Amino acid sequence: MAGTSTLPAGRSVKLKLDRDGIVKRCFMALIGLYLFAALVLPLYAMLSKSFVTYGFDLARYEFQVSDESGTVWGEPVSAASLNEVLGKFTADDLASSSDGRLAVTDLFPDFSFKSPVKYRLRSTTADAPYLVGLDLQRTTEWQEFDSNTFRRVNLRPVTTVGLQNYVDYFSNAALFSSIENSLFIAIVSTVLTVGLAFGFAYALNRSCIPFKGTFRLIAMMPILVPSLLPGIALIYLFGNQGFLKGLLMGQSIYGPLGIVIGSVFFTFPHALIIISTALSIADQRQYEAAESLRASSWRTFWTVTIPGARYGLISAAFVTFTLVITDFGLPKVIGGQYNVLAIDIYKQVIGQQNFEMGAVVSVVLLIPAVFAFIIDRQVQKKQVSLLSARSVPYQPKPDRRFDMLMLLWCLVVAIFIAGIIAVCQVAALVKFWPYDLSLSLKNYAFNRMDGGGWAAYWNSLQLAAMTAVAGTAIIFTGAYMVEKVDGFRAGRALFQFFAMLPMAIPGMVLGLAYIFFFNDPANPLNFLYGTMAILVISTVTHFYTVGHLTALTALKQIDAEFEPVAASLRQPFWRLFARVTVPVCLPAILDISIYMFVNAMTTVSAVVFLYSTHTALASVAVLNMDDAGDIAPAAAMGMMIFYTNAAARILHAFASRRILGRTQAWRAR
């Protein structure tokens, strides 16, 4: 063989970047930058905040006191030793927050502001600030004060970076018990939801029951309402004045019971979609083989059905678990005194203004969410390989007894779901439950209540529309760049990681991270704080991943050779993008936009930290009206969200059909 057999030394040939390559990289960098600023930086800000503690370090200050003449000075003495002698402040008293103050006069029991005694103060280190009036001092020089000025001197806390917040958190029994509560609620809800959804999906895919379409429609309804709406319905049914209260036999609906029932309601459709997909890909031939081997139907169920659906079941379990453990609305409405992690974040931040502790709870909440996310991703990868193009779809055979059982199952679930919505509707229309049951629209007069009024509803509509449009554009373009750019492998992998990240971040955590990042006056993006824009950004980011995956799936189905062909025809990529890629992916694009719209209407968790007086939202208004005791108007606002989402869904179905009919004529053979 002639020539050498190993690669000769030298530089590898690299193609020159053409205009397309540059434009594509710019786009990807832009959207990558968006995700970096809207996700990575805020999370980083939050994480670093969770390690910061504030406290007064008395060892860093020294005082000198004069006699009555103001000329003869005593020995310098440190504040720490003064405190030791006095026993005034305990270690707990010295812990503080970012804007804590400690009056120095507390260290001098005989201080009087009228006395002629003078005081001197100096910091022994440069990072020991104190206030004189409103002026912050950072000097190690002695400063002299007359007694009248001295009473306006305050020490400022110094920051320490460390694990102290975590130590405090885990030694606080009340906070720590929330972990237990959250896990308990999440696990119980997951078992119930996955069990119910499996039976329901089994009925839809493997039995011959009637009204499958109606059942499916009803099962999807909870997606259209905020997660806290079932809480309101449960209060009406089983609350202190609920007409079914007797059924609880003394148990209170406020607490774990209510949270679990509500969680089953709002997570049901999510679990159903996943399990139903897993069951729908069954291969008829496996069942025929089992039958020919004379396996009993019970044995077939355990050896064919369950293994075939196991990835779907695992995935559904983790999705449900994550939804419940990160949910905030439901425990807020019906949790009573029962604390869970998401509530703790809210209480620490909104109630106690203890942002650092809020950050710590957020980090704790991140752990199960990230864990569930990673396992779910692993399982999803395996699920794909189960699909085979040669599978023969399963055809259920009628079986009277079995079908009756399945019908009963579906009826029970459907009545539960439709019932919850119906109770909310009735509550919204009834004048004064349970005393005056005549109908009226007075509960819809939102402008008469706190919570933002009708303006909140219009804000929500605006947010949903903007999120749908901007979010879909950003997500689809980003996915296109990941999928269809050649080379630039490291950049694409990083981008893909950023795009997957939001799914692992609970909304509460994202919202709190936004406070830390955007509310920082030093941040040039600070102007976004309190605007509609930050609500759009947080919502797009919060729901980024599902849209991204939908877009990727659609793009992967497009022939990878379109780009080379267009390049060989010397056409810019954007022409291919506009003329071919977008029209071909239109069904997926519409799906992403409706997903963004519906979620923007219902989300509470991320935006509850970020709305301002003029950007109040309908979903938050439900929360606040409920908080204020206006439960009927809260139900009415929840129903407004339901009507809107239902209408958007119908509009979407209608528009999809029309657009598909017009632009996708090529699909028909």
Partner 1 sequence: MMNALIADAPRAEAGEPYLKINGCWKAFGEFVALRDITLDIRKGEFVCFLGPSGCGKTTLLRAIAGLDPQTRGTIRQAGRDISALPASQRDYGIVFQSYALFPNLTVERNIAFGLENTGRPKAEIAARVAELLALVGLPEQGRKYPAQLSGGQQQRIALARAIAINPGLLLLDEPLSALDAKVRVHLRHEIKELQRKLGVTTIMVTHDQEEALSMADRIVVMNHGVIEQVGTPTEIYRDPATLFVADFIGETNKIESVFDEGAVRVGQATLATGAQGLSDGAPVTMAVRPEDILPHAAGHEAQPAPNHLNVTVTSMEFLGSYWRTHLTSEALGETPLVANFSMNAVRRLGIEPGAALTVELPAERVLAFPRGA
> How many angstroms separate the CA atoms of 597 and 590, rounded?
11
Shortest distance, CB of residue 584 to partner 1, whole angstroms?
5
Shortest distance, CB of residue 590 to partner 1, whole angstroms?
15
Contact 620, 535 (CB under 8 A): no
* Residue 4 Ramachandran class (φ > 0 left, ψ -120 to 50 alpha, else beta): beta
> How many angstroms separate the CA atoms of 464 and 64, rounded?
63
Which residues bind to partner 1, rule: CB under 8 A?
1-8, 10, 12-18, 20-21, 486, 559, 561-562, 564-572, 575, 579-580, 583-584, 663-669
Smaller CB separation from partner 1, 585 or 604? 585
Smaller CB separation from partner 1, 17 or 404? 17
Smaller CB separation from partner 1, 352 or 663? 663
Smaller CB separation from partner 1, 142 or 562? 562
Shortest distance, CB of residue 26 to partner 1, whole angstroms?
16
Smaller CB separation from partner 1, 438 or 568? 568
Cβ neighbours of 661 (radius 10 Å): 11
Give Cβ neighbours of residue 359 (< 8 Å, ≥ 6 apart).
46, 47, 49, 50, 165, 512, 516
Shortest distance, CB of residue 665 to partner 1, whole angstroms?
7
Smaller CB separation from partner 1, 465 or 558? 558
Smaller CB separation from partner 1, 5 or 171? 5
Smaller CB separation from partner 1, 336 or 572? 572
Cis bond before residue 157 (omega within 30° of 0) = no
- CA angle (534, 536, 540) in 5-degree steps: 120
Shortest distance, CB of residue 581 to partner 1, whole angstroms?
9
Closest listed residue to residue 276, CA positions, set 318, 321, 312: 312
Smaller CB separation from partner 1, 11 or 294? 11
Smaller CB separation from partner 1, 15 or 389? 15
* Residue 90 Ramachandran class (φ > 0 left, ψ -120 to 50 alpha, else beta): beta
Shortest distance, CB of residue 19 to partner 1, whole angstroms?
8
Shortest distance, CB of residue 216 to partner 1, whole angstroms?
30
Contact 236, 613 (CB under 8 A): no
Shortest distance, CB of residue 594 to partner 1, whole angstroms?
22
Closest listed residue to residue 48, CA positions, set 426, 427, 516: 516
Residue type for 606, please? A
**166, two tokens:** 């975590």
Cβ neighbours of 37 (radius 10 Å): 16
Contact 161, 54 (CB under 8 A): no
Burial class (CB in 10 A: 0-12, 13-18, 19+), 235: buried
- CA angle (237, 242, 245) in 5-degree steps: 90
Shortest distance, CB of residue 656 to partner 1, whole angstroms?
16
Shortest distance, CB of residue 15 to partner 1, whole angstroms?
5
Smaller CB separation from partner 1, 10 or 398? 10
Smaller CB separation from partner 1, 2 or 293? 2
> How many angstroms separate the CA atoms of 343 and 338, rounded?
9
> How many angstroms separate the CA atoms of 428 and 438, rounded?
11
**273, two tokens:** 């979609």
Smaller CB separation from partner 1, 13 or 134? 13
> How many angstroms separate the CA atoms of 129 and 122, rounded?
10
Cβ neighbours of 191 (radius 10 Å): 15
In Å, what is the CA distance from 155 to each residue of 120, 135, 139? 14, 12, 13
Residue type for 521, please? P
Smaller CB separation from partner 1, 3 or 521? 3
Shortest distance, CB of residue 13 to partner 1, whole angstroms?
5
In Å, what is the CA distance from 352 to each residue of 348, 357, 358, 426? 5, 10, 9, 36
Q: What are phi and psi of 171, to 5 degrees?
A: -95, 0
Burial class (CB in 10 A: 0-12, 13-18, 19+), 342: buried
**520, two tokens:** 């920082």
Shortest distance, CB of residue 595 to partner 1, whole angstroms?
23
Smaller CB separation from partner 1, 382 or 579? 579
Shortest distance, CB of residue 571 to partner 1, whole angstroms?
6
Residue type for 528, please? L
Shortest distance, CB of residue 567 to partner 1, whole angstroms?
4
Place of tokens 């530089």: 11
Give Cβ neighbours of residue 411 (< 8 Å, ≥ 6 apart).
none
Smaller CB separation from partner 1, 8 or 133? 8
Residue type for 655, please? A
Shortest distance, CB of residue 586 to partner 1, whole angstroms?
9
Shortest distance, CB of residue 184 to partner 1, whole angstroms?
50
Place of tokens 């606040």: 624
Closest listed residue to residue 117, CA positions, set 79, 151, 71, 76: 71
